[in-house]
Amino acid sequence: MLKIPCPSCGGELVFRSQSSVFAVCPYCTSTVVRHDLDVEKIGEMGALAEDSSPIQIGMTGSYKNKFFYTSGRIIYEYEDGQWNEWHLYFDNGESAWLTDAQGEFAISFAKEEGIPSASKLRLGLGVDVGGDYFKVSDIKQVTYKGSEGELPFKAEKNYKSVVYDFSHNDNKFLTVEIPNERGVPPIMYKGSYIEFWKLSPQNIRIFEGWI
């Protein structure tokens, strides 16, 4: 764990993972990038609107017998609404994303190999990824509406990309994100849909009548 003063307000920024490079100060909402033991302010995030997610930074849980800590969040916005991507750090050094979209949850891990070319992706197209067969089920333009906490890459507000979601006959999950910015490589995430309570979540947000 690394603790560094915010370059804007002096508040304590906590980086729990060596791989974290981006954070939003919880005191002044400055967005900062980490360079080894130094941090650089690159902007301000502003306050995020409240939503109905039970997840919050600091929530802990277990997935496939591995303990995780929720370190940050990116809010994705598209034409029909928005959803949350929560970043998880596992005690074995792995990281993953917990998707929270209108009551549906999925955990996925970034995959660097086998990413299909964007020029070949269209609705209904089938692709094989690691021996699993998926079909493109949705294509949408998205914008980062906001972010908070500690993240493994820069997640500045208004960053734009195209997201391809894939369906599978089983409970598996696949998505490919193609940034609009030239020179930024695509990212692919593969995982599974899950039931929230099977994560044994602790330190969640509590809503009246929700439990």
Q: Which amino acid is at 17?
A: S
Q: Is the pLDDT of residue 11 over 90?
A: no
CATH of the domain at 19: 2.20.28
pLDDT tens for 34-47 read 877 677 776 676 66
What average pLDDT does range 48-68 have in this prediction?
Answer: 90
Report the pLDDT value the prediction gives residue 47, as an integer from 0 to 100.
Answer: 65
Q: Are residues 78 and 164 in the same domain?
A: yes
pLDDT tens for 67-113 read 999 999 999 999 999 999 999 999 988 999 999 998 899 999 999 88
The answer for residues whose C-beta is within 8 angstroms of residue 8's C-beta and 6 or more apart is 25, 28, 30, 32, 41
Q: Is the pLDDT of residue 26 over 60?
A: yes
Q: Is the pLDDT of residue 119 over 90?
A: no
Q: Which residue has the higher pLDDT, 65 or 157?
A: 65
Q: Which helix (H) or strand (E) holds 142?
A: strand 132-151
Q: Is the pLDDT of residue 7 over 60?
A: yes
Q: Are residues 164 and 112 in the same domain?
A: yes
Q: Are residues 40 and 111 in the same domain?
A: no
Q: Are residues 33 and 109 in the same domain?
A: no
Q: Are residues 109 and 175 in the same domain?
A: yes
The total domain count for the chain is 2
Task: Give backbone dihedrals phi and psi of 199, rounded to 5 degrees, phi first.
Answer: -80, 0
Q: Are residues 21 and 78 in the same domain?
A: no
Q: Is residue 110 part of a domain?
A: yes
Domain that holds residue 28: 2-44
Report the pLDDT value the prediction gives residue 140, as an integer from 0 to 100.
Answer: 95
The answer for residues whose C-beta is within 8 angstroms of residue 142's C-beta and 6 or more apart is 76, 77, 78, 160, 161, 162, 163, 177
Name residue 99's beta-bridge partners: 85, 106
Q: What is the pTM of this model?
A: 0.86
Helices and strands: H and E segment counts in the chain: 0, 15
Which of the four pLDDT bands, split at 50, 70 and 90, describes residue 118? confident
Of the CA atoms within 13 Å of residue 208, those in its CB half-sphere come to 0
Q: Is residue 63 part of a domain?
A: no
Identify the residue whose tokens are 């894939």: 166
